[in-house]
Amino acid sequence: MIRRFIESKHTKAVPFKIIRAVLVIGICFMVLFPMFVRLTVSLMDESDLYDPTILYIPSNFTLNNYRMALDGLNYWESLRNSTLLAVATSILTLIACSLVAYGFARFQFPLKRFLFFMVVLMIVIPPQTVMLSQFMFFRYFDFGGFLPFITRDGSRHINLINTFWPFVIMSSTVTGLKNGLFVYILRQHFRSIPKELEEAAYIDGCGYLKTFATIVIPASVPMLTTVFLFSFAWMWTDNYYSSLFLTAPRILSSALGSLAANLWHTYVNTGLGQMTFITPGFSSIVNNAGIFLVILPLFVLYLFAQRAFVEGVERSGIVG
Amino acid sequence: MRKKASILGVRRSYIKKAIVGYLFISPFLVGFIFLFLGTLLQTFEFSRSFMSVGPDGYVLTPVGWDNFRRLFFVDPDFAFELVRAVFGMLPEVAMIIIFSFFTATLINQKFMGRSLARAVLFLPIILTSGVVLALEMNDAMLLYLSDVSGQAMALDGDSMRLLNSIDNMLGNLFITVGNFTIDPAFMIVMAIDNIYDIIIASGVQILVFLAGLQSIPPSLYEASTVEGATGWENFWKITFPMISPLVLVNVVYTIIDSFTRPTNEVMGIIHSMAFGQLDFGGSSAAALVYFLLVILALGIVVGLLSRWVFYYD
């Protein structure tokens, strides 16, 4: 019976497969075409950009833009800093957001509705609105008034600007980039998992945290991976917090933001040629090369993370 | 006597669970109290003051509700742009949710090159974030070269003809609300014209739906198929209820994203008030009014949707 069902499905599916292929290829084309244009631009010489007879295929093919971008981004050092920052913050974000989301999903406590409303409010209010006071908070960080008891010299506040601490503190207290969204996504997900297994675990004397770690987390691998990837990608390309809290430690996103200007400075200072202002063509070719260098690690990460999706499906078989 | 003890027991277990709940959300409580509440109150204070920036910091002069009054009775654009933001948001949200759910079911199936298709659909998230978006918006050369969808927001000849032929077939279906006219045919043609913008804005939603589809236990489908359910029934009785909590979160996110992305007109007004005209009080007031409107829109939509959202609790 089942076998006949599957077989009939297979034979019927040929037109369906064709339609599906057309749709998938079409959607992917829409996303990839602008990327393709970027790629061609990043391989062009600046003069090609101004030549109206050249479209997509560079006549002066060059890898020079990539060489310049590697230099200007200080690529390997920035890559290391960015990786360190993004890995640390996304792991902390994932832990904090999933704990908070589970609390909102499964427990009843006073003020719950109000507090969850505040989580949504944190998604609504863009970080730009709270820029000034956040900067002040970390510039004169006082540990909620406890700092004099911790430090040896009894200083009232310390300056956390230009360290990774603001990012660590924000991502472990659910105030980082789009963390409200992560809490919301995970809460909705936890609420859609059957409750029976957790209840069985409680009856067996399993504690709340242990139940969460051993029952709920394994059933949520695809969703947790997705949240991790969002958090990682947004931290990786973030130019808002990194320009607010970091000026000295170079990370990829801030380096990319000032790439054209940096290269222009070295260009002028070393006396390689005359360039009185940054031409749009020059900034376009180096920025596009830079963008590829910056997003390539993300793309590779995503291809690896897909395995977690597949494993997650297999594991989630234990629920239900 | 015995009954009383059991009530006490229930009460005690409720209190215990409430404490555990607070412990679970404690990271949020700390961040909320120390990093968020203060800034929120500060914005409210700004909105009721006139701020002058001097050499040694800023000085606030309280002006009561003046900034708010100015927004609605003096500013010619603000109220109009608010209404326009709402009417622009509605069709956009509908199209993004439908498209992203459709795409997620598509790439959830097994076919050759599936991982690559998924990776490609991860790109919109990178392309619309942070520094990449900022560079793209400033790159005049690239905008000129990669103009794949024709003129944004204005219909070209072909689309105009398509619109006319749809109108000829169905007659003009106008819905008029106040001064605004909504033409469904026009919206569909517009959606086709702006398909790139829709794809680019659906990155997060597609991946959330995909992860949701992956989280549905395969045993549910197996059981119902053995019982003789068709794919259509499986979709409405299993997939749809199981995914409905994520439809809600995606709708909420899409609404917020539509209202607060940097290209939104009202966000532009708020930004230029603060950094163009240095009117921080007015800007804070505008931001508060705008966020209140967003919250109101969210409240209505969530209220309407949560009826058919299925939870296990």
ipTM for the assembly: 0.85
Interface of A with B in 57-96 (CB under 8 A): 96
Task: Please tell me the least confidently modeled range out of A293-297, B49-53, B250-254.
Answer: B49-53
Task: Name the burial class of residue B129, with classes exposed (0-12), middle (13-18) and buried (19+) by CB atoms within 10 angstroms of its CB.
Answer: buried
Residue A181: per-residue pLDDT? 94
Q: Which residues contact A17 (CB under 8 A, 6 or more apart)?
A: B111
Tell me: pLDDT of A155 over 80: no
* Chain A CB contacts of B15 below 8 Å: none
Distance (Å) from the C-alpha of residue A275 to the closest C-alpha of chain B? Answer: 18
Minimal Cβ distance to B129: which of A106, A237, A319: A237
Q: Which of B25, B119, B140 sits opposite A104 (nearest CB)?
A: B25
What pairs with residue B62 in β-bridges?
A: B49
A contact residues 13-52, partner B, Cβ 8 Å cutoff: 17, 20-21, 23-24, 27-28, 30-35, 37-38, 41, 49
Phi then psi for residue A54, to 5 deg, are -105, 120
Across B131-242, the runs of DSSP E, i.e. the strands, are: 175-177, 180-182
Taking contacts as CB-CB distances below 8 angstroms, the residues of chain A near B225 are 2, 5
pLDDT digits (tens, 9 = 90+) for B290-302: 888 999 999 999 8
- The rounded distance, in Å, linking the Cα atoms of A121 and A129 is 12
pLDDT at A317 over 60: no
CA distance A153 to chain B (A): 24
Burial category of A102 from C-beta neighbours within 10 Å (exposed 0-12, middle 13-18, buried 19 and up)? buried
Element (H, E) at B50: strand B49-54
Q: Best interface-test mutation with B: which of A124, A228, A241, A292 has the largest number of B CBs within 10 A?
A: A124
Q: In terms of Cα–Cα distance, which of A164, A301, A300 is closest to A231?
A: A301
| Alpha helices per DSSP H over A57-207 | 64-73, 75-106, 112-124, 131-139, 147-150, 165-172, 179-191, 196-203
| A81-129 confidence digits (pLDDT tens) | 999 999 999 999 999 999 999 999 999 999 999 999 999 988 888 777 7
Once rounded to an integer, what is the mean pLDDT over residues A16-37? 88
- CB burial readout A119-152, b (16+ within 10 A) else e: bbbbbbbbbbbbebbbeebbeebeeeeebeeeee
Query: In this predicted model, what pLDDT tens digit does every residue of A163-197 receive, in sequence order?
Result: 888 899 999 988 888 899 999 999 999 998 888 88
Angle between helices A112-124 and A179-191 (to 10 degrees): 130
Q: Is the pLDDT of residue A61 over 60?
A: yes
Do the Cβ atoms of A317 and A244 come closer than 8 Å? no
Report residue A143: phi and psi, to 5°.
60, 35
Residue of B146 and B111 predicted with greater confidence: B111
| Nearest beta carbon to residue A233 from set B109, B125, B138 | B125
pLDDT of residue A188: 92
Average pLDDT, chain A: 81
Per-residue pLDDT averaged across A217-243, rounded?
89
Smallest CA–CA distance from B109 into chain A, residue: A20
Characterize B158-193 residue by residue with b for buried, 16 or more Cβ atoms within 10 angstroms of its Cβ, and e for exposed.
ebeebbeebeeeeeeeeeeeeeeeebebbeebbbeb
pLDDT exceeds 70 at position B43: yes
CA distance A242 to A167: 9
Q: What is the spatial distance between Cα A109 and Cα B20, in angstroms, rounded to a whole number? A: 9
Contact B111 A193 (CB under 8 A): no
Mean pLDDT over B73-82 rounds to 80
Residue B173 CB partners (closer than 8 Å, separation 6+): B183, B184, B185
User: Could you say which residues from 178 to 207 on chain A have a Cβ atom under 8 Å away from some Cβ of chain B?
Assistant: 181, 183-185, 188-189, 191-195
DSSP state of B175: E
* Torsion of Cα atoms, B11 then B16 then B18 then B19, to 10°: 140
Pick from B150, B256, B238, B239: which is nearest to B193 by CA? B150
From A145-149, A152-156, B147-151, B228-232, the region with the lowest mean pLDDT: B147-151
Contact B128, B122 (CB under 8 A): no
Q: How close B126 gets to chain A, by Cα (Å)?
A: 6
Q: What is the pLDDT of residue B151?
A: 40
Provide the whole-model pTM.
0.85
CB contact under 8 A, A37 and B131: no
Candidates A82, A226, A279, partner chain B, best to mutate (most B CBs within 10 A) = A226
CB-based contact, A148 to chain B, within 8 Å: no
Q: Which residue of B has its CA nearest to A94?
A: B27
Per-residue pLDDT tens digits for B199-221? 888 989 999 999 899 888 888 88
Quick check: A170 contacting B, CB < 8 Å? yes
**Mean pLDDT (whole number) for B68-91:** 81
Q: Is the pLDDT of residue A55 over 50?
A: yes
Residue A176 CB contacts under 8 Å (≥ 6 apart), including other chains: A89, A93, A167, A170, A231, A235, A241
pLDDT at B246: 92
Quickly state the pLDDT bin for B28 (edges 50, 70, 90). very high
Specify the 3-state DSSP secondary structure of B116.
Answer: helix
What is the reported pLDDT for B75?
A: 77
Confidence of residue B148 (pLDDT cuts 50, 70, 90): very low
- Answer for the pair A300, A83: CB distance below 8 angstroms, yes or no: no
Cβ contact, residue pair A96, B28, below 8 Å: yes
Distance between CA B177 and CA B87 in Å, rounded?
Answer: 10
